[in-house]
């Protein structure tokens, strides 16, 4: 079998994942954080240790929070719906965005009247055109920028440092979302 939907579901999973999930389901699949009994405390410790390992992996600050969600799609929906958008807010997106970003922003557009603009690309190379982007930002300042780090379709690595630095120059930028799917 040739499975082409791997980015969404990672199938088949590494054997270590199956073993860890089997162990968790058989030995400590209890209500973590809701009980004082030994098994609930152990489950809470596993979750806390996992959060700490994720913070180390991404070089996060000690005081940062790691929120565990069932999927990237759910996380993207929670993040985007949790932002304080008002009619006319400018949201820039790369043309390489995940469907969960595009659909969610489209719904927010319908509900709140935000303006969604694509980051400009060079038509020959299909790369982000940073000069045109700077010009666009100066004309219509972003409230939010959603940009994936690497296109899962083309493999293009977006210039996120350049995009972020330019966005930081815009006083109105309030939200920045980097997707590394």
Domain-embedded: residue 62: no
Looking at the fold, whether 88 and 50 belong to one and the same domain comes out as no
First to last CA, the chain: 24
pLDDT at 15 over 90: yes
Indicate whether 105 belongs to any domain: yes
pLDDT at 2 over 90: no
pLDDT tens string 93-103: 999 998 889 99
Same domain? 116 vs 165 = yes
Same domain, 87 and 130: yes
* 94 in Cβ contact with 158 (< 8 Å): yes
pLDDT tens for each residue of 52-106: 999 999 898 888 899 999 888 888 889 999 999 999 999 999 999 988 899 999 9
- Residue 43 and residue 107 in one domain: no
DSSP at 150: B
d(CA 25, CA 46): 13
Query: From the CB of residue 137, how many other CB atoms can be counted at a distance below 10 Å?
Result: 22
Question: By C-alpha distance, which of 156, 111, 162, 113 is closest to 133?
Answer: 162
- pLDDT over threshold 50, residue 181: no
H/E stretch holding 145: strand 144-148
- The answer to whether residues 53 and 87 belong to one domain is no
Do 46 and 22 have their domain in common?
A: yes
The CATH number assigned to the domain holding 148 equals: 3.40.640.10
Residues 153, 87 share a domain: yes
> Quick one: 102 and 154 in the same domain?
yes
Kindly state whether residue 150 falls inside one of the protein's structural domains.
yes
Number of domains in the chain: 2
Instruction: Please check whether residues 120 and 160 belong to one and the same domain.
Output: yes
Boundaries of domain holding 26: 6-57
Q: Is residue 174's pLDDT more than 90? A: no
In a domain, residue 122? The reply is yes
């Amino acid at each position: 079998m040739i499975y082409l939907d791997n980015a969404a579901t990672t199938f088949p999973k590494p054997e270590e994942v199956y073993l860890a999930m089997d162990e968790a389901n058989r030995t400590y699949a209890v209500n973590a954080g809701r009980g004082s009994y030994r098994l609930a405390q152990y489950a809470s410790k596993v979750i806390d240790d996992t959060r700490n390992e994720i913070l180390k992996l991404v070089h996060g600050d000690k005081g940062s929070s790691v929120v565990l969600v069932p999927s990237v799609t759910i996380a993207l929906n929670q993040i985007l719906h949790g932002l304080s958008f008002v009619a006319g807010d400018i949201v820039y997106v790369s043309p390489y965005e995940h469907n969960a970003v595009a659909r969610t922003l489209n719904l927010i557009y319908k509900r709140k009247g935000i303006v969604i603009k694509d980051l400009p690309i060079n038509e020959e190379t299909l790369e982000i055109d940073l000069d045109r982007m700077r010009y666009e930002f100066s004309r219509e300042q972003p409230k939010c920028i959603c940009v994936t780090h690497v296109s899962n379709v083309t493999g293009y690595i977006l210039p996120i440092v350049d995009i972020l630095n330019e966005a930081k120059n815009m006083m109105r930028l309030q939200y920045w979302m980097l997707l590394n799917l």
